[in-house]
Amino acid sequence: MVIDRAGLAEFLRRRRESLQPEDVGLPRGQRRRTAGLRREEVAALCHMSSDYYSRLERQRGPQPSEQMIAAIAQGLHLSLGERDHLFRLAGRHPPVRGAASEHISPGLLRVLDRLQDTPAEIVTELGETLRQTPLGVALTGDLAGYSGPARSLGYRWFTDPLARTLYAPEDHVFLARLWVSGLREVATLRGPGSRASELVDLLLVRSDEFREVWERHEVGLRPREAKHFVHPEVGTLELTCQTLLDPVQSHSLLVYTAVPGTESHEKLQLLSAIGVH
């Protein structure tokens, strides 16, 4: 496929100008005259240099890689249709849709952007964290920074002892059963050769505990309403997790809250003041 530089530049400019700072979780400021977002704001949202992004809008620079296009699509809060159009303009084939896709829907992103004072994260059906709020990072650490199989919390649970230190010891047995039950359901749904199936094969080789729980053939387990975290600075917190599901992409937005007036609520406020650990 051949890059359409003029079409790409025009599409990027139109999408940038259609977004307002509050649409993407940015402060508006008092002296804003720009229609929509500034180029440097979009570049920051896309995790690239302002110069690189500006050259694309000016029909210059090298053909962007698939990773760059995906980052731009996410930073501009594009829908799946818009994302696929962007890929074609850039001379690339659009990535797959559905459970294997990591493109977060604009609606889910808009909700996340409005939860900056709340621990929240967007995860895949395999427990891979795609995006977190600042307080979410303060609560659990930067979970979006992992790569390979370790991106899955279920994988880390059985291969990295540090993954369990964030959770109350009395919950460990149930959580192990929960991860295995969930992975069995996803692997059965997606079938042989899927990423879920590959994760099962890895864990059967690398974890005796996983193998023992897997052989029970448990399915249908669901998370308990209360989650007990053990934070290194504020101690134990009892939080309630609410889930918003995007059925098209099989992504879930997890929002953690504490009952007002409780000790956990006070600790959550303290954690907000402390910031990322």
What span, in angstroms and rounded, lies between the C-alpha atoms of 91 and 83? 13
Residue 88, pLDDT above cutoff 80 = yes
The mean pLDDT value for 239-258 works out to 94
| 85: region left, alpha or beta (phi > 0 left; psi from -120 to 50 alpha) | alpha
What span, in angstroms and rounded, lies between the C-alpha atoms of 269 and 255? 15
Name the domain count of the chain: 2
Closest CA to 265 of 167, 119, 166: 119
Residue 159 resides in a domain: yes
pLDDT of residue 99: 66
Q: For position 117, which CATH number holds?
A: 3.30.450.180
Q: For position 38, which CATH number holds?
A: 1.10.260.40
The mean pLDDT value for 173-181 works out to 97
Q: What pLDDT digit, counting tens, does each position of 190-212 carry?
A: 999 999 999 999 999 999 999 99
| Residue finishing a domain among 89, 119, 145 | 89
Sheet strands side by side (includes 120-123): 129-132, 120-123, 251-257, 235-246, 226-231
Same domain, 119 and 79: no
Same domain, 49 and 112: no
pLDDT of residue 277: 47
Which residues constitute the domain of residue 197? 106-274
Q: What pLDDT digit, counting tens, does each position of 53-75 carry?
A: 999 999 998 899 999 999 999 99
What span, in angstroms and rounded, lies between the C-alpha atoms of 46 and 169? 38
Same domain, 194 and 110: yes
pLDDT of residue 179: 97
Closest CA to 274 of 131, 112, 137: 137
Residue 61 resides in a domain: yes
Residue 50, pLDDT above cutoff 80 = yes
* Percent of the chain topping pLDDT 90: 83
Same domain, 79 and 37: yes
Same domain, 55 and 129: no
CA torsion sign, 129 to 152 to 154 to 273? Answer: negative
Query: Is residue 231 very low, low, confident or very high in pLDDT (cuts 50, 70, 90)?
Result: very high
Q: Which of 18-32, 62-76, 98-112 has the lowest mean pLDDT?
A: 18-32
Same domain, 142 and 219: yes
pLDDT of residue 223: 92
pLDDT of residue 127: 96
Residue 116 resides in a domain: yes
Same domain, 70 and 159: no
Structure tokens at 229: 């975290």
pLDDT of residue 93: 92
Same domain, 69 and 111: no
Q: Count of CB atoms within 10 A of residue 134's CB?
A: 16
Predicted TM-score (pTM) above 0.75: yes
Residue 97 resides in a domain: no
| Residue finishing a domain among 89, 114, 139 | 89
Residue 98 resides in a domain: no
Same domain, 156 and 263: yes
pLDDT of residue 28: 76
| Residue finishing a domain among 20, 54, 89 | 89
